A and B are shown apart, each in its own frame.
Chain A
Amino acid sequence: MAEYTAKKLAQMLVTVLGVVTLVFFTLRLIPGDAASAMAGDTLSGEALQVLREQMGLDEPLLTQYLGFLRNLAVVDLGETITTRIPIAELLLRALPITLSIALATIVVSVALSIPLGTLAAYMAHKGRNWLDNGLTGAAMIIDLMPSFWTALVLLLVFSLGLGWFPASGQLNWSDPWALVLRLALPVIVLSLSQVATLARITRTAVLEVLNEDYVRTARSLGWSELRVLFRHALKNAALPIATVVGLSFGNLLGGTVIVEFIFTIPGVGNLLIAGINSRDYQLVQTLIVLYALLFVVINFATDLIYKTLDPRVQF
């Protein structure tokens, strides 16, 4: 176990380092830099150069890269290049919001999709396919709708049209109900595609397990259908489901950027967009590292969950 964890941690470190390096250099390939973005058309060549020196952009790339790594190693996130605000401070405000959206989405989608997929699988197993067909059809339609489009439609109908949910405004942690209303639409948008994926995976996994010999064994022992379904079928089907839940977290992180932008929520996604627009290398790099870290940590957690679910997997 300890050996496994150490190996896994080393792998995670390599992954994050790879992402950091890739992001650092590709960012520099984009035409223009923070200085020119900030200055716009107003500054002359010389003044722009002065601004560059102030921002530390005149140093050789390698020096900038090593400096960035050194600061990361001691968890010094630095300041934004353009506005000189400590990034740690920005994150402290933005990260809880984004994590709340992501967690709420996972809870909602798991709570909906697993019962739905299990029921569809069970009915298909018994030869009644309507729920199964309905689910597959609905999932296909949802997959066809890009989430930015769904987000805009929901915003138009429920916020601007019916006025049920606020479309903008401050996030107030002290007023939970207002917070729920404010985050409801983004969570719904993200959950839609998650439910579509997870319900289908659950359906396939459970249906497959229901045809396994050990399910027949359980029935031959006189166990009720409910017990067969929960104790044997769902427990075994949980293995592929857990894997997919873990993997879909990556999609979810990408999704938060879009919904935060559309619903003007001051989360990490909006920070990222602002950073890209102002070519704030420091901010963008730091955020990407954060995303990469979140991703590998979730994957590691999935691995651990998988291993507790399946005794056949050895550490």
Chain B
Amino acid sequence: MNYQAPVKTTLLEVRDLRTEFHTASGTVTAVDGVSFAIERGERVAVVGESGSGKSAMAMSILRLLTHPGKVAGGEVLLDGRDITKLSEGQLNAIRGRLVGTVFQDPMSSLDPVMRISKQMIEPIMRNLRLNREQARAEAIKWLGKVGIPEPERRIEAYPFEMSGGMRQRVMIAMALSCRPQLVIADEPTTALDVTIQAQIVEVLKNLTAEAGAAMMFITHDLGLVARFAHKVAVMYAGRIVEFGRVEDIFANPSHPYTQSLLGTIPSTSMLKSDRLPQIPGLPPDMRYPIVGCAFKERCAAAHDRCLREAPRLTDRGIDHRAACWSQHGLEHGATLKVERPERTNKPFEPDGSVVVELNALWKQFETSRKMVVKAVNGVNLRVHKGETLGIVGESGCGKSTVARLLLGLEKPTSGDIFISGRAQMVFQDPASSFNPKMTIGDIVAEPLVVRAQGNKAERLEAVRRLISQVGLDPAFAERYPHQLSGGQRQRVAVARALALNPSVVVADEPTSALDVSVRAQIINLLVDLKQELGISFVFISHDLLTVRYISDRIAVMYLGEVVEYGAAEEVFADPRHPYTKALIDAVPVPDPAIESRRTTTPLQGELPSPLNLPKGCAFASRCPMATDRCRAEKPSLPNHDLSRQVACHYAH
């Protein structure tokens, strides 16, 4: 008889994994009975909000958790061997060798006082049993593969001599150089720009596929999931609530949480007048035991049974499981609560008057070494009353400097700034812009105190009005910043910005520190305020989908210049500058069908140094269609008054 052993294809199997954090305020069960499997060569995305336990789960697999985290139960079978039973020494033979890891923040994940060569070569020597010379050649080969120019020279660099994108390439080269069978990537592109993110994702995808390695990819970006994954695990409150093939998850999500998450992303087909669906409430406090389904408070389909009993994962199709008592999750049509506050006055109608005007704005900084950083180079922009101007571009393009100039935090080198009324600011990270020792009420009242407006009673009244205006209970005035969630803190930041009745609010990445489900709440709030109060917004972000949704007009910046300007819909539907095209191309669309059809050729290279700008077009060094004319002659933006402006010789 011709007996053939079944081909064993499962690489990693996790069974009932439990991870606990023993803290002073109680035991947090960060991972609560997680089971799933990864086949050889398969890419599995793990998605979830912060606190959902996705990172803790990934770190538990290799026991990389530090105190007070501890794996409390379950099995992790790697190639059939339970690695939870291994000693530290045995585990060290697996770490780096069979399982490579790429972490989130490339700026801090490499040892700052060690050369790249030292950090890369020794693991290769140990794991692949090569001598120093061979290991060095191997390291250089991998640095070349991940796209580091001149790897023979760069291998002797220190991490601080490299950009974030380059460091993340080094991390990937380190993780892949020992030929692991599994790569665990924990939010590997979250800290990077979209264009760099697109490059890194391509590198990871191609190189793991080439080596036949499987990958566990942790992310909160559903667009990346669609571009990248074969299968998806959705985590909520320490558990996997849905698991399945990427097409099934996006086309037929069956857990209400997955359905809601997908609904909160501003889609390209969405109309401006549509409100962004938002998930109400917050994830549960994991310090307390959860009775019933963890999502019940935020779920429109919750019923009696959900309150009493936690659902287990059950089959919903081939390779598709979800943990919900109702078969299809939320009823079709009633997908999400679209909350709309009651309108007291009529929505504001833009009348075309100009609130902010920047004329030929230049800003140069001098470094300690007498070099000149040209941060903003001749920017002309207008913001109309009651409109939102979105500014997009990679980090270092000067968008934040424009914001600081607008607010008067920096003095322009030359040019004029005209503001009718007052400009206020909302920062990316509200936690660090609040004094932790002040109550929310004091924080909101601070601008009034500084300007000596009103007496104490009037200020108190104003604070209550402002806090309820941003959708919080006025009782929050008594609380302290640490008692609030990230989304609530950002609401307070908005309230503080509104205190002095500004005509324009500058918001610098106001949603990028927030989770997807909370992000929609803040965006809706800003849209409401714009319509109700007729305030103008300058919205600075690298999240192009959000900018598209919230902005009336968009300015695309590159190396301190505006390269394209126009109505948001037009710019996105028909980008004319090659840079705008590349930016929009780099954004992953949360739809695997579209992503699989797209052939992405990510923008090559990185932003040139603003210390010595090229003579011709600033974008020429990375532009796929650059000619000699572009390198010699600088294209300028046409007339200030045109509603659509493109700085390119070849744009029509």
Whole-angstrom CA separation of A310 from B101 in the bound complex: 26
B87-122 contact mask (Cβ, 8 Å, vs A): 1 or 0? 011011111110011010100111111100000000
Q: Is the Cβ of B160 less than 8 Å from the Cβ of A222?
A: no
A220-253 contact mask (Cβ, 8 Å, vs B): 1 or 0? 1111110000001001100100000000000000
State the Cβ distance, A128 to closest chain B Cβ, in Å.
Answer: 9
What residues of chain B lie closer than 8 Å to A220, measured between beta carbons? 62, 64, 95-96, 100-101, 103
Whole-angstrom CA separation of A20 from B263 in the bound complex: 74
Q: Is the Cβ of B158 less than 8 Å from the Cβ of A214?
A: no
Whole-angstrom CA separation of A219 from B94 in the bound complex: 11
What residues of chain A lie closer than 8 Å to B89, measured between beta carbons? 224
Whole-angstrom CA separation of A220 from B67 in the bound complex: 16
Residue A312 is within 8 A (CB to CB) of chain B in the complex: yes
Whole-angstrom CA separation of A239 from B112 in the bound complex: 12
Residues of chain B in range 67-98 having any CB-CB distance to chain A below 8 Å: 67-68, 88-89, 91-97
State the Cβ distance, A226 to closest chain B Cβ, in Å.
Answer: 11
Which of A211, A222, A309 makes the CB contact (< 8 A) with B96? A222
Q: Is the Cβ of A311 less than 8 Å from the Cβ of B158?
A: yes
Max count, chain A CB within 10 A of own CB: residue among B68, B105, B108: B108
Which of B64, B105, B113, B127 makes the CB contact (< 8 A) with A311? B113
What residues of chain A lie closer than 8 Å to B97, measured between beta carbons? 222
Q: Is the Cβ of B96 less than 8 Å from the Cβ of A214?
A: no
Residue B566 is within 8 A (CB to CB) of chain A in the complex: no
Residues of chain B in range 343-363 having any CB-CB distance to chain A below 8 Å: none
Residues of chain A in range 124-158 having any CB-CB distance to chain B below 8 Å: 125-127
Q: Is the Cβ of B103 less than 8 Å from the Cβ of A222?
A: no
Q: Is the Cβ of A222 less than 8 Å from the Cβ of B127?
A: yes
Residue B386 is within 8 A (CB to CB) of chain A in the complex: no
Which of B88, B94, B111, B127 makes the CB contact (< 8 A) with A217? B111
Q: Using known A-B contacts A214-B112, A310-B113, A311-B158, determine if residue A221 contacts B67 with beta carbons closer than 8 Å.
A: no
* Interface SS majority for chain A: helix
Q: Is the Cβ of A224 less than 8 Å from the Cβ of B92?
A: yes
Residue B66 is within 8 A (CB to CB) of chain A in the complex: yes
Whole-angstrom CA separation of A26 from B501 in the bound complex: 59
Residue B382 is within 8 A (CB to CB) of chain A in the complex: no
Residue A8 is within 8 A (CB to CB) of chain B in the complex: no
What residues of chain B lie closer than 8 Å to A216, measured between beta carbons? 64, 66, 103, 109
Residue A58 is within 8 A (CB to CB) of chain B in the complex: no
Residue B622 is within 8 A (CB to CB) of chain A in the complex: no
Q: Is the Cβ of B92 less than 8 Å from the Cβ of A223?
A: yes
Q: Is the Cβ of A217 less than 8 Å from the Cβ of B160?
A: no
Whole-angstrom CA separation of A127 from B96 in the bound complex: 25
What residues of chain B lie closer than 8 Å to A309, measured between beta carbons? 113
Whole-angstrom CA separation of A235 from B68 in the bound complex: 25
Q: Is the Cβ of A127 less than 8 Å from the Cβ of B68?
A: yes
B185-211 contact mask (Cβ, 8 Å, vs A): 1 or 0? 000000000000000000000000000
Q: Is the Cβ of A212 less than 8 Å from the Cβ of B160?
A: no
Q: Is the Cβ of A126 less than 8 Å from the Cβ of B158?
A: no
Whole-angstrom CA separation of A57 from B258 in the bound complex: 91
Residue A213 is within 8 A (CB to CB) of chain B in the complex: yes
Q: Is the Cβ of A312 less than 8 Å from the Cβ of B103?
A: no
Q: Is the Cβ of A125 less than 8 Å from the Cβ of B94?
A: no
A195-226 contact mask (Cβ, 8 Å, vs B): 1 or 0? 00000000000000011111011111111110
Q: Using known A-B contacts A125-B67, A127-B68, determine if residue A221 contacts B174 with beta carbons closer than 8 Å.
A: yes
State the Cβ distance, B599 to closest chain A Cβ, in Å.
Answer: 33
Whole-angstrom CA separation of A224 from B88 in the bound complex: 8
Max count, chain B CB within 10 A of own CB: residue among A222, A225, A311: A222
Residue B126 is within 8 A (CB to CB) of chain A in the complex: yes
Q: Is the Cβ of A212 less than 8 Å from the Cβ of B95?
A: no
Residue B486 is within 8 A (CB to CB) of chain A in the complex: no
Closest to B94 in A: A222
Residue B123 is within 8 A (CB to CB) of chain A in the complex: yes
Q: Using known A-B contacts A220-B62, A224-B92, A236-B112, determine if residue A213 contacts B103 with beta carbons closer than 8 Å.
A: yes
State the Cβ distance, B179 to closest chain A Cβ, in Å.
Answer: 13
Residue B57 is within 8 A (CB to CB) of chain A in the complex: no
* Interface SS majority for chain B: loop
State the Cβ distance, B503 to closest chain A Cβ, in Å.
Answer: 43
What residues of chain A lie closer than 8 Å to B64, measured between beta carbons? 216, 219-220
Q: Is the Cβ of A221 less than 8 Å from the Cβ of B113?
A: no
Q: Is the Cβ of B66 less than 8 Å from the Cβ of A214?
A: no
Q: Using known A-B contacts A222-B97, A311-B160, determine if residue A217 contacts B113 with beta carbons closer than 8 Å.
A: no
State the Cβ distance, B164 to closest chain A Cβ, in Å.
Answer: 13
State the Cβ distance, B181 to closest chain A Cβ, in Å.
Answer: 14
What residues of chain B lie closer than 8 Å to A210, measured between beta carbons? 66
Whole-angstrom CA separation of A140 from B100 in the bound complex: 44
Closest to B177 in A: A221
Which of A211, A236, A310 makes the CB contact (< 8 A) with B66? A211
Q: Is the Cβ of B113 less than 8 Å from the Cβ of A236?
A: yes
Q: Is the Cβ of B67 less than 8 Å from the Cβ of A127?
A: yes
Residue B443 is within 8 A (CB to CB) of chain A in the complex: no
Q: Using known A-B contacts A222-B96, A222-B127, A309-B113, determine if residue A217 contacts B103 with beta carbons closer than 8 Å.
A: yes
State the Cβ distance, A148 to closest chain B Cβ, in Å.
Answer: 40
Q: Is the Cβ of B112 less than 8 Å from the Cβ of A213?
A: no
Closest to B112 in A: A312
Residue B171 is within 8 A (CB to CB) of chain A in the complex: yes
Closest to B111 in A: A214
Q: Using known A-B contacts A216-B64, A220-B101, determine if residue A312 contacts B160 with beta carbons closer than 8 Å.
A: yes
Whole-angstrom CA separation of A309 from B114 in the bound complex: 10
Q: Is the Cβ of B110 less than 8 Å from the Cβ of A214?
A: yes
Q: Using known A-B contacts A311-B158, A311-B160, A312-B158, determine if residue A222 contacts B109 with beta carbons closer than 8 Å.
A: no
What residues of chain B lie closer than 8 Å to A127, measured between beta carbons? 67-68
Q: Is the Cβ of B123 less than 8 Å from the Cβ of A217?
A: no
A270-306 contact mask (Cβ, 8 Å, vs B): 1 or 0? 0000000000000000000000000000000000000
Closest to B124 in A: A221
What residues of chain B lie closer than 8 Å to A312, measured between beta carbons? 112-113, 158, 160
What residues of chain A lie closer than 8 Å to B66, measured between beta carbons? 125, 210-211, 216
Closest to B88 in A: A225
Ordered by A's residue number, 25 sampled pairs between the chains whose C-beta atoms are within 8 Å are A213-B103, A214-B108, A214-B110, A216-B64, A216-B103, A216-B109, A217-B101, A217-B111, A219-B64, A222-B93, A222-B94, A222-B95, A222-B96, A222-B97, A222-B126, A223-B123, A224-B88, A224-B89, A232-B114, A235-B111, A235-B113, A236-B112, A311-B112, A311-B113, A312-B158
Query: Other than the known A220-B95, A221-B96, A311-B160, what 7 A-B pairs have Cβ atoms closer than 8 Å?
Result: A125-B66, A213-B105, A220-B103, A222-B126, A224-B92, A236-B112, A310-B112
Interchain residue pairs A-B with the least CB separation, the first 5:
A222-B96, A127-B67, A222-B95, A221-B96, A220-B101
